[in-house]
Amino acid sequence: MTRQEIMNGKKIVRDEDFELVQAINNGRTDLFQQMVEKYQQKIYNFGMRMCGESRDAEDLVQETFLNIFRYLNGFRYETRFKNWMYRVATTTCLKAKRKPKHAPERELSLEEFMPGEGEDLPDQAPDWAQRPLDQLLNEELAAHIKNAIIDLPKPYRMVMVLRDQEGFSTEETAHILDISVSNVKVRLHRARLFLREKLKGYFDHGA
């Protein structure tokens, strides 16, 4: 359970990791392994969603936990520990050298997804938007979605992964990435429109 408290005159967040973090910061560094075991799966998932390659994701996990180990003393309980950990992970990910195979860094404009005036628009959603989800989602489609997300420019990919895959709220995502709430919304909307185009292409030509 997470609750807010006042400690030494400052507002702090007391979450499920509060005591573990305090113990580590008070010298029980042997307990760090416990933290790693608890969160390695989450950070590895995040790494795979961001990088798409196991080796890159492993590097991200190692770098992230090393940075957490180095900087945990500076954690002031102003947020849930998990959110701070993702802040470390996203910063580590942003600093990682961009591989040429990844999507080029470019802005996605809303106009590129907007239907033009007078354009022939569907007056009914296609079959893939109406069929039950469990009948639709299979391994091939899941792989297609993963590849489409990897094709997103990094700032958009990061927002989409945090919001729609890691389950953070708009406000939490803004805090993790140190950007405004409106910026999160803009990036997320464009990322979703980008993914929708990829799904349209998949169902029109590939499925």
Tell me if 24 sits within 8 A of 31, measured CB to CB: yes
SS3 category, 10: strand
Query: Which CB sits closer to another protein, 1 or 133?
Result: 133
Query: Which CB sits closer to another protein, 20 or 141?
Result: 141
| Exposure of 75 in the CB half-sphere (CA atoms within 13 A) | 30
Q: Please, which of residues 143-182 interact with another protein by CB under 8 A?
A: 145-146, 149, 160, 164-166, 170
Query: Which CB sits closer to another protein, 29 or 180?
Result: 29
Q: Is 142 in the site for another protein (CB under 8 A)?
A: yes
Query: Which CB sits closer to another protein, 18 or 69?
Result: 69
Token pair for 68:
């957490």
Q: Please, which of residues 80-109 interact with another protein by CB under 8 A?
A: none
How many C-beta atoms surround the C-beta of residue 135 within 10 A? 7
Which of 36, 96, 179, 207 touches another protein by CB under 8 A? 36
Query: Residue 190 Cβ, how far from another protein at the closest point, in Å?
Result: 9
Between CA 30 and CA 47 the distance in angstroms is: 25
Query: Which CB sits closer to another protein, 126 or 206?
Result: 126
Q: Is 20 in the site for another protein (CB under 8 A)?
A: no
Q: What is the DSSP string of 23-89?
A: HHHTT-GGGHHHHHHHHHHHHHHHHHHHH-SHHHHHHHHHHHHHHHHHHGGG--SSS-HHHHHHHHH
- Among 25, 37, 17, 39, residue whose Cα is nearest residue 89: 39
Between CA 2 and CA 5 the distance in angstroms is: 10
Q: Which residues bind another protein (CB under 8 A)?
A: 29-30, 32-33, 36-37, 40-41, 44-45, 48-49, 54, 57-58, 61-62, 65-66, 69-70, 110, 114-115, 117-126, 128-130, 133, 136-137, 141-142, 145-146, 149, 160, 164-166, 170, 185, 188-189, 192-193, 195-196, 199-200
